[in-house]
Chain A
Amino acid sequence: MITNTIPDWNHQGVLPPINVNNPTSVDRSPYLVSITDIVLRFGTTTQRKGILSGLLTFRANLYSAGLIEGFQWIDGSFLENIEIIEGRSPIDIDVVTFFHLPSGKTQQDILSAHPRLFNPVHTKADHHVDAYFVHLDSNKLELLVQHFTYWYSMWSHRRNNQWKGYLQVDLSQIDDSTAKANLDEMKDQGGQQ
């Protein structure tokens, strides 16, 4: 996958919807990025490192449950300069996982085996992740489009209608191991609180 560079926050403290420094490039929201870049870019405080750690554990649990193919849209105040905008740390990270089911399994099989992994109430408590899911193998393509449209419309604006960007990252066990190593190293080094 060819990834984009995560753009800097604009003066409003959000990711710009397009790359203003190179507006005719393919860089536009949702930016296709690697999980390692997310860790390196946003792991700036203890709170943020804790949320990233939760995200990696959440993703590891998805792999254990058999969801190894797909991608995630990542958004929320975690991607904003919320420390400056609202004078607080982010509480969690918003994630929609677009997934393929492992062959021979149904959604019910997987939910029964992992009842806490798919309910946002539990994922927030367990992993600091506000998690939602969209099954990509649906034969109702119109419904899939509606799903995408809903999330895009919800996530491409702040509540004050300000347009903003967000990220897309593949599910990838290999990338996650690198990201985890980076995060562990960053934790050891401390950093801004």
Chain B
Amino acid sequence: MNINEYYHLQAEKTTLESLLKQIPEVNVIDRIGLETRKKEVEDLIASVSAPTREPIRASLTFRGKPTVGSHGIFAEFGAKAINAFADAVAAIGASQASSLGTRGAIPNREEFQLLITGTALGSFGFELEEAPKDAMLFPKESLIESAIEQTKRIMKASLGTDDDLTEAISEADPRAVETLRSFFKTIADHEAVCALDFKGDVFRFADVGQVRRSEGRLSKDNIHEDDKIFNGYFLGVLPNHRNFEFKVIGTEEVILGKVGADIEDANQINQIVGKQAQIKVHTKQVGTGRVRYELSHYSENSD
């Protein structure tokens, strides 16, 4: 039983109670069916655990050449666009937990399956919903929620500054960013724009030019990634925020960055503060924006 059915049963129980209160006791024929129905509904409610939450929902709508007002969408474009969007959400979601590699299947793809549950009107598009895991209830945590949230964040940042975009894609795998770029390309090639409505907050492209610009800004030519080694010493680490500062020897440069997921206990670094150390960092920069550093390895220098 999904949460909608559960709520419908609860609403029916309340309605039946209200009706039965008003029907005179002498109307035994009117009452007997409703009393039986109320008992059935109560038994049904008691037989299942209360659903913990509603499925995650979003709506993705399109405007432009491939749509006919709020009446319809050309099937070829609709299928391509929704497929590209689903791929982007899955890749961005999966990259929050692990590296995707450059090719092959997206890890845990099944965790990010979306159902099309209806058509969204206004412009034209699709109502999307997280697919139930066991065709019944939804688990407490949803991976899709953060995947869509992050997808929308990158879409928004693609219209912002280079620093905004660097920040938004900092934890996304390059392949995941590429899937989102591919979605932008699909809609721009068809001269369409999209809007993503998620949790009451709507992101929308104003025109095809914006989509093209966003596509370009997510291209590999505009996103510079590298691995670098520096010698110097740590100034300190905030263990909960997992932020570090590192002074590079022989320069005035102080690197601020995040401690990467490969280093479990960030607080350990505080034990070598001020001592000579070598660090390996992954750098990411969009356009001419600020370089973002992620610490992947460190070692104390013996000399």
Size band of the interface chain B makes with A? 20 to 34
Contacts of A11 in B (CB 8 A): none
Asked whether, in the complex, the Cβ of B30 is within 8 Å of the Cβ of A134, the reply is yes
Q: What's the least CB distance linking A144 to chain B, in Å?
A: 10
Given contacts A120-B36, A150-B19, A133 and B29 within 8 Å (CB-CB): yes
- Identity of the chain B residue whose Cβ is nearest the Cβ of A96 in the assembled complex: B33
Q: Is B136 an interface residue (CB 8 A)?
A: no
Partner of A150, one of B15, B32, B36: B15
Q: What's the least CB distance linking A64 to chain B, in Å?
A: 15
Q: Is A22 an interface residue (CB 8 A)?
A: no
Segment from B4-12, B87-95, B179-187, B215-223 that makes contact with A: B4-12
Chain B contact residues: helix, strand, loop or mixed:
helix
Give per-residue flags for B1-38: 1 if the beta carbon is below 8 A from chain A beta carbons, else 0: 00011001000100110110011001111101110110
Asked whether, in the complex, the Cβ of B36 is within 8 Å of the Cβ of A107, the reply is no
Asked whether, in the complex, the Cβ of B4 is within 8 Å of the Cβ of A161, the reply is yes
Asked whether, in the complex, the Cβ of B33 is within 8 Å of the Cβ of A107, the reply is no
Asked whether, in the complex, the Cβ of A135 is within 8 Å of the Cβ of B29, the reply is yes
Asked whether, in the complex, the Cβ of A140 is within 8 Å of the Cβ of B33, the reply is no
Q: What's the least CB distance linking B55 to chain A, in Å?
A: 13
Contacts of B22 in A (CB 8 A): 140, 143, 146
Q: What's the least CB distance linking B271 to chain A, in Å?
A: 59
Asked whether, in the complex, the Cβ of A159 is within 8 Å of the Cβ of B33, the reply is no
Given contacts A107-B29, A111-B29, A159-B8, A132 and B34 within 8 Å (CB-CB): yes
Q: Is A167 an interface residue (CB 8 A)?
A: no
Q: In the bound complex, what is the Cα–Cα distance between A108 and B33 (angstroms)?
A: 14
Partner of A106, one of B8, B23, B26: B26
> How many A residues, CB 8 Å from partner?
25
Give per-residue flags for A75-109: 1 if the beta carbon is below 8 A from chain B beta carbons, else 0: 00000000000000000000000010000001110
Asked whether, in the complex, the Cβ of B32 is within 8 Å of the Cβ of A119, the reply is yes
- Identity of the chain B residue whose Cβ is nearest the Cβ of A135 in the assembled complex: B30
Asked whether, in the complex, the Cβ of A121 is within 8 Å of the Cβ of B36, the reply is yes
Q: In the bound complex, what is the Cα–Cα distance between A172 and B4 (angstroms)?
A: 39
Contacts of B5 in A (CB 8 A): 159
- Identity of the chain A residue whose Cβ is nearest the Cβ of B22 in the assembled complex: A143
Q: Is A118 an interface residue (CB 8 A)?
A: yes
Q: In the bound complex, what is the Cα–Cα distance between A133 and B23 (angstroms)?
A: 12
Partner of B32, one of A111, A138, A146, A159: A111
Q: In the bound complex, what is the Cα–Cα distance between A121 and B33 (angstroms)?
A: 9
Contacts of B18 in A (CB 8 A): 146
Q: Is A26 an interface residue (CB 8 A)?
A: no
Q: In the bound complex, what is the Cα–Cα distance between A138 and B30 (angstroms)?
A: 11
Contacts of A118 in B (CB 8 A): 28-29, 32-33
Q: In the bound complex, what is the Cα–Cα distance between A89 and B32 (angstroms)?
A: 28
Contacts of B16 in A (CB 8 A): 150
Partner of B37, one of A99, A132, A140, A160: A132
Q: What's the least CB distance linking A66 to chain B, in Å?
A: 11
User: Interface on B for A, CB 8 Å cutoff?
Assistant: 4-5, 8, 12, 15-16, 18-19, 22-23, 26-30, 32-34, 36-37
Q: Which 7 A-B pairs have the closest CB atoms?
A: A132-B33, A107-B29, A133-B29, A111-B28, A118-B29, A120-B36, A107-B28
User: Interface on A for B, CB 8 Å cutoff?
Assistant: 99, 106-108, 110-111, 118-121, 131-135, 138, 140, 143, 146-147, 150, 154, 159-161
Q: A118-B32, A119-B32, A133-B29 are in contact. List 19 more A-B contacts (CB 8 A).
A: A99-B29, A106-B26, A107-B26, A107-B28, A108-B26, A118-B33, A119-B33, A120-B36, A132-B37, A133-B32, A135-B30, A138-B27, A146-B18, A147-B30, A150-B15, A150-B16, A154-B12, A159-B4, A160-B4
Question: 6 A-B residue contacts at CB 8 Å?
Answer: A99-B29, A120-B36, A135-B27, A143-B22, A146-B18, A159-B8
